Structure 1
Amino acid sequence: MQRDTVTDPQSNNYKWFVLAILTVVYAFNFIDRQILVILQEPIKAELGLSDTQLGLLTGFSFAVVYVTAGIPIAWLADRSNRRNIVAVSLGIWSVMTALSGMVQNYTQLLLARLGVGLGEAGGSPPSHSMLSDYFPEEQRGTALSIYTTGIYLGIFFGYFAGGWIADNYGWRNAFFIVGIPGVVLAFLLLLLVREPPRTVLPNAVENEKASFKETIVFLLQRPAFWWIALGCSTASFVGYGNGNFFPSLLIRNYGLTVTEVGIFMGVISGSTGMLGTFLGGYLADRWGKRDKRWYVRIALWGLMLSLPLSYYTLLASEPLYVVLAYTPAHILNTLYLGPCIAICHTLVAPNMRASASAVLLFVINMIGLGLGPLVVGALSDAYIPLFGEENLRYAMLTALTMGTSGVFFFWMAHRTLLGDISKTEAALTGMTAKS
């Protein structure tokens, strides 16, 4: 008999309930990660920071801990209870976000952000692995894209609420208010979500685990994975680099308040990001039934079509023109991630998915999150003698130009994808035969 209670693990709808919970967790991941971006102008004024220091806080220092801790956590996730790892990680990053409101100097804020990065490292790889076990391959792109919309839910609430709280109650209270609810959510996750059985090959030994070395060797034989990782990294380089300084550009060069920027970034960036991310996964699953290369084509065409709109966004003279160009550009810029994560899971064995996600996120976040904001911040400081008050605008234009290399990387992934999928299918057939 079919069960109707969505929270019943035996219900056909339970996997969608789990997806909803994990998407909310991912939203909190980005609320706590991006809250600093909307608060960085008042923080810069109070603590006397440079743009380079802001780039270190929002990018490199966070990313180093985030990606370094992500690898061993993913290795653990391939061997233990993934639900528990996500819950503990959520609790850690939420507490560290709240503590950020108590800092008195740059060093203390840096240490708090390192703590947030450590906690958030345990969020995505175990969640990716769980969702790949809950959903069949033909629904995986849609599921992972819905999960990825958590980024933009987080951006929406982080920017919208963070800007308003900062203008009305100060930036310190903003950290407290967004950090504490995550601790409550961690307990709800433990109560409501069940660890799914892991996908196994027919006749395979269920308890067999792949070592991290085996996963790396497996991935090294599949160049499409690395081209996808580089394509996502360059898109992320621009997304994080320019995205983290876009609120500052609107405040400095267009005269908007923190609340106004929070509304703009929250509503426009959040809604277009969710639409683009969901649309990317939906179209990839729909068109990918005929040809798996659509999982990469969507990323390639999205990036190519977004470039002229992105340039105009940074060069527009009035806020209205910024909005008109930014809206379609951001939809196109956010098509890539869900399909790329999904197809990377197709390139590996089921017992390698969390580790493969960690490797993918390591490359994306080290290049994108680690270098993007740092490069933009450093260029902004360096461009002051050349461009004066327009320094940040030209730093962001430089980063956008550097990011055009993603077109080449996605094109190379498109060329090599089908051959690498065939290699994986043959390898999985061999594993089944040996068992």
Structure 2
Amino acid sequence: MRTDMESADERALRRRGLTLGLLTLTYFFSYMDRQILAILMEPIRRDLDLTDLQLGLVAGFAFALFYATLGIPVARLADRGNRRNIVAVSLAVWSLFTALCGLAQNYAQLLAARIGVGIGEAGSSPPSHSMIADLYPPDRRAGAMAIYASGVVLGGGFGTILGGWLAHQYGWRTAIMAVGLPGLALAVIVRLLVVEPRRGLSEPARITSTTQPPLGEGFTTIWANPAARHLVMGVTLTSLVGYALTSFGLTYYIRSYNLDTATVGLVLGPLVAIVGTISGVGGGMIADRWARKAGQHVQSWLVAILKTAAMPFMALVYLAPSFPVAVAAQAVSVLLQSSYLGPSFALIQGLAPIRLRAMWAAITLLVINLIGLGLGPAVTGALSDLYRPYFGTESLRYALLTMAAITPWPIWHYWRAGQILKQIEAGADAAGRTGD
């Protein structure tokens, strides 16, 4: 006779595909609402008379400050409460504030609405990471995380297509409201259909206590783990470059090649969505396959290898003599470097204590977003303003090239994390043989 716990576990596992799909769709809306400004920056700048630095602060720091810092208390709640409900409420909040961005009449109002988006989105990823880690075992986790992370490229790509076309036809205000409001309906669907799994469901042998550890333990445990430190640094610096390039990348095409938002959206949106999804999901599956054969450490090395191969194409995007050459270079760059999120988050969740999984995800996102999203767009905007006396309308091109040049730094952290993980795996194997 089955117990209630057994039937609940079986139900969670039977519906984990649906749960993963809805969490991915939520992340899709999260990133679409977050990145819609990328295609709308130029019309917003003209309408509200803003500088590139102001645009960078709205797109990055104002959002990131609240998104990242509030992720910690939300994760604390998620590690002891119902994660599904947290995700649903958060989705409703940020969707509403995204729509309110379209009503802004000045810089202060736009800034306030973006802060509201950041507050809402703080409750999305930490509980989602924790739920996925509970539903999928380590040898399938990178693939599941990669599917979840595809929400980044799909949301960014679809937001670019829809936002660019709507802005060209009806103005930027209609565009931003059109991507925000549907999230309210999705919030209801998430609340009704997503299954809340038992903590540690995929690794029951690792559960040693049902008591939630103190808040400070989340920070001390992640800092005390050398592999986790390097992984967090690698994904943070990658995000610093990524947010810089995505926040202003579409504006670069509009300015440097004298294009409208509809043209850029229809060309770059499908490219990012299709190629990025192939890279993210395919890279996650390859990472799982390699890990089963050689150990988890090769997932970190895979990211380092692909990012190294992408570097020449990243530079060519901003040195290209024509729009077609730049687009072709970006396609190759996106294909090679968009697979880092799945393996990164999977490895971090695999290292995290089960009762601290949401907290470790929140700490990772805190660092990623304060440094990556908080500084990436703002520094790029400041560099563009600084370069303008020397390069004129091409200042943004060289600001983006400067940010792309940071890439070797995160590559080293991924390589070092792989070395440490390999040593840990070798020690575990030796201990297992001794025990036998």
Instruction: Normalising by structure 1, report the TM-score.
Output: 0.93
- 1:101-112 equivalence runs, <5 A: 101-112=102-113
Identity of aligned pairs, percent?
A: 42
Aligned residue number for residue 43 of structure 1: 44
- 1:7-86 equivalence runs, <5 A: 10=11, 13-86=14-87
Hey, what's the Cα distance between the residues in 2 that align with 1:261 and 1:254?
10
Structure 1 residue matching 2:405: 3-state secondary structure? helix
Letter of the 1:412 partner, please give it.
R
- 1:62-211 equivalence runs, <5 A: 62-199=63-200, 201-202=204-205, 204=207, 207-211=210-214
Hey, what's the Cα distance between the residues in 2 that align with 1:413 and 1:11?
33
Give the CA deviation at 1:202: 3.3
Give the CA deviation at 1:265: 2.2
Aligned residue number for residue 374 of structure 1: 378
Q: How many residues align?
A: 420
Give the CA deviation at 1:420: 5.0
Write out per-residue CA displacement over residues 169-204 of structure 1, whole angstroms, 9 at most, x where no aligned residue: 111111221111100000111111121111164384
> Which sits farther off after the overlay, 249-258 or 192-201?
192-201
The equivalent position to 2:224 in structure 1, one of 204, 221, 226, is: 221
Aligned residue number for residue 290 of structure 2: 287
Hey, what's the Cα distance between the residues in 2 that align with 1:385 and 1:366?
29
Aligned residue number for residue 251 of structure 2: 248
Write out per-residue CA displacement over residues 111-153 of structure 1, whole angstroms, 9 at most, x where no aligned residue: 0000000100110010010111111221111101000001111
| 2:275 paired with 1:272 | yes
Hey, what's the Cα distance between the residues in 1 that align with 2:147 and 2:51?
37
CA RMSD of aligned residues (A): 2.0
Give the CA deviation at 1:321: 0.5
| 2:414 paired with 1:414 | no
Hey, what's the Cα distance between the residues in 1 that align with 2:206 and 2:91?
36
The equivalent position to 2:402 in structure 1, one of 393, 398, 405, is: 398
Letter of the 1:256 partner, please give it.
L
Write out per-residue CA displacement over residues 48-74 of structure 1, whole angstroms, 9 at most, x where no aligned residue: 000000110111111111100011111
Q: Retained in 2: the 8 A contact 1:347–1:421?
A: no
> Which sits farther off after the overlay, 374-383 or 174-183?
174-183
Write out per-residue CA displacement over residues 372-412 of structure 1, whole angstroms, 9 at most, x where no aligned residue: 11111000000011111211111111111123211222122
Q: Retained in 1: the 8 A contact 2:12–2:135?
A: no
Distance of aligned partners of 1:204 and 1:357 in 2 relative to their CA distance in 1, 3 Å threshold: closer
Hey, what's the Cα distance between the residues in 2 that align with 1:204 and 1:402?
40
Letter of the 1:22 partner, please give it.
L
Q: Retained in 1: the 8 A contact 2:147–2:281?
A: yes
Q: Retained in 1: the 8 A contact 2:297–2:418?
A: yes
Hey, what's the Cα distance between the residues in 1 that align with 2:421 and 2:62?
33
Q: Retained in 2: the 8 A contact 1:347–1:424?
A: no
Q: Retained in 1: the 8 A contact 2:154–2:272?
A: no
Distance of aligned partners of 1:425 and 1:291 in 2 relative to their CA distance in 1, 3 Å threshold: closer
> Which sits farther off after the overlay, 200-209 or 289-298?
200-209
Structure 1 residue matching 2:99: 3-state secondary structure? helix
Q: Retained in 2: the 8 A contact 1:277–1:338?
A: yes
Q: Retained in 1: the 8 A contact 2:233–2:410?
A: yes
Structure 2 residue matching 1:80: 3-state secondary structure? coil
Aligned residue number for residue 430 of structure 1: none
Write out per-residue CA displacement over residues 84-105 of structure 1, whole angstroms, 9 at most, x where no aligned residue: 0000000000000111111100
> Which sits farther off after the overlay, 406-415 or 122-131?
406-415
| 2:337 paired with 1:352 | no
Give the CA deviation at 1:11: 7.6
Question: Which sections of structure 2, spanning at least 5 residues, go unmatched?
Answer: 3-8, 431-436
Distance of aligned partners of 1:425 and 1:146 in 2 relative to their CA distance in 1, 3 Å threshold: farther
Distance of aligned partners of 1:209 and 1:286 in 2 relative to their CA distance in 1, 3 Å threshold: same
Q: Retained in 1: the 8 A contact 2:207–2:354?
A: no
> Which sits farther off after the overlay, 236-245 or 374-383?
236-245
Give the CA deviation at 1:208: 2.1
Hey, what's the Cα distance between the residues in 2 that align with 1:251 and 1:219?
42
Aligned residue number for residue 319 of structure 1: 323
Give the CA deviation at 1:234: 1.5
Structure 2 residue matching 1:207: 3-state secondary structure? coil
Aligned residue number for residue 429 of structure 1: none
Give the CA deviation at 1:206: 5.5
Distance of aligned partners of 1:177 and 1:9 in 2 relative to their CA distance in 1, 3 Å threshold: farther
> Which sits farther off after the overlay, 38-47 or 195-204?
195-204
Hey, what's the Cα distance between the residues in 2 that align with 1:386 and 1:143?
47
Instruction: Normalising by structure 2, report the TM-score.
Output: 0.93
